Structure 1
Amino acid sequence: MAAQYTIRASPKQASKPVDLRNGSTVTEFVLVGFEQSSPSARALLFALFLALYSLAMAMNGLIIFITWTDPRLNSPMYFFLGHLSFLDVCFITTTIPQMLVHLIVKNHIVSFVSCMTQMYLVFCVGVAECILLAFMAYDRYVAICHPLTYAQVMSRQVCVSLVSTAWSFGLINGIMLEYMSFRNPFCRDNHIENFFCEAPIVIALSCGDPQFSLRVIFADAIVVLLSPMALIVISYARILASILGKAFSSSRGKTFSTCASHLTVVIFLYTSAMFSYMNPRSTHGPDKDKPFSLLYTIITPMCNPIIYSFRNKEMKGAMVRALGRSSLSQTESV
């Protein structure tokens, strides 16, 4: 991916014509982020985002631990939930630590390679999470609408294959999106009006006509976002029809609670991602991009474990048991 580009890196050079034949190498970008905020506002944001990041890491880490170690949670739903939490940990770690550093230091420069790496990881993990959420909706459909064949349909081997498919599609799709983002040389500016290297903003900085790359990413977003969403909508439409078609039962409330948890996560992630990657760039701006970027990079990963935990009695019981074992082991060590 190493290539020769030309870029206007500072305001003093803005009035000078750009000569691509000089072949100046792009070595860095500037993440504007919250640079315009006052020092007190940045300090407040640092404390807030550090608290949210710590909470997200702790909650997702606890879910990963209990879903992979508690034998009472040995079911496909919790198998998928553990992998969802692992994806959330990967997702927030690619963006938030860097943002926290930039909130307390004046140097907001990132290397060209670092920007590429961060963008690839965001693509890879984000795509994998979208697909995994669709598989989780399908799992709920089979469990509720076909309970007698659930164990056969959602066997351990099938679950592993579905998770592997989500990861594989994310890894491969990330390569294609990475190429489309950096296929053109950069010569307009190197200031990214966000707190991480987000593809549409980076593409807009490239030379020539960025419309082809943006159209490809838009088409990819249709496949990655709308196709899983269609599966989710179909699964939950059939679940709703099945629930309403049955006589009242004590399990109806539990079913609605589980489905509502999953749908809440889906709405958070898909709404923010669709705004970022499926809206025309003319409707975007720093004041609009950053809130939605924050929503799907930190708020959603933080809300996922909270939503699933507080709306699920089995998860709350497993957390209590895990924390109880931890307290007991500490007492015995003392």
Structure 2
Amino acid sequence: MPIITTDKIWMNGEFVNWDDAKCHVLTHALHYGSGVFEGIRCYHTKDGPAVFRLKEHMRRLYNSAKIYFMTTDDRLGDETRSYGVDELCDAAKETIRENRDSLIAGNKTLNGNNEEKIECYIRPIVYRGYGEIGLNPLNSCIDFAIAVWPWGAYLSGGDDGIRVKTSSFERINSNVLPPNVKATGQYINSILACIEIKKSGYQEALLLDNRGFISEGPGENLFIIKDGKILTPPEHASILKGITRDSVMIIAKDLGYDVKETDIDRGMIYLADEAFFTGTAAEVTPIREIDNYQIGKPGPITKEIHGRFFDIIRGKVPKYMEWLDFV
């Protein structure tokens, strides 16, 4: 999906013009993937724009940075430049406010109407910058950036369900790279799977773990429904423990459903009554077909969870207001 530009990007504590947000071609992260990032969404509500589970996302960003030695005590960065989780939360909201007018204009373009909405995708990234070339990153500076822009549905055709294919590429496992970390370099694994299935005419991939069980999509967690029970792969299946995944598990349990984290093989998916992906970009996206096996149009449980999720992010369910951080 083409990027709809906004006015400013937050870089190392200052706002710069969108077109001036650049890095040197010898930036360490550009060559070696030495960066960590998050994907977060801000939604329109009747009380103004609100970021969904902002603190949890920034806490995960900190944890990812810690794994790659990009933290000092409880702060992201080093002795030259560092930010705490709360400071990055404030910076994200400040970036939205700074881009208010361009976000409203961008959403009008995206949605094809004149509604004045502030909705956006938020991309904070922490990366090893210019310093040294070589596999040792520790002498390269740590840089920060936060960008926001209007972004619609990530997986097109989601209302009717998407077509999914199992990739021949295996999901990374903890003996190779930590799966529960959002590091830039690790997403080459997802990119290869995505390219493979796109060239085969499908909309999204599904990756297996190193035992042959279902892991997740390239950027989404998987849920299936069988006989009224909701199943999702566990952490040991090399998944990223998604924040939307966690939200959906809580929502489903609150709706009275039995939710279980369990190993899922391919046969279980092919015989599922319903299936859907979750993720910040994907939100809740129904799956209608996997490997040419027909799951069918979105079923009643998927529809109920989907509807509840969107009511929550729009600020319509008081019970979950703590998940919203108003701008």
- Structure with greater Cα Rg: 1
> Higher strand share goes to which structure?
2
TM range (shorter): under 0.3
User: How does the TM-score come out when normalised to structure 1?
Assistant: 0.25
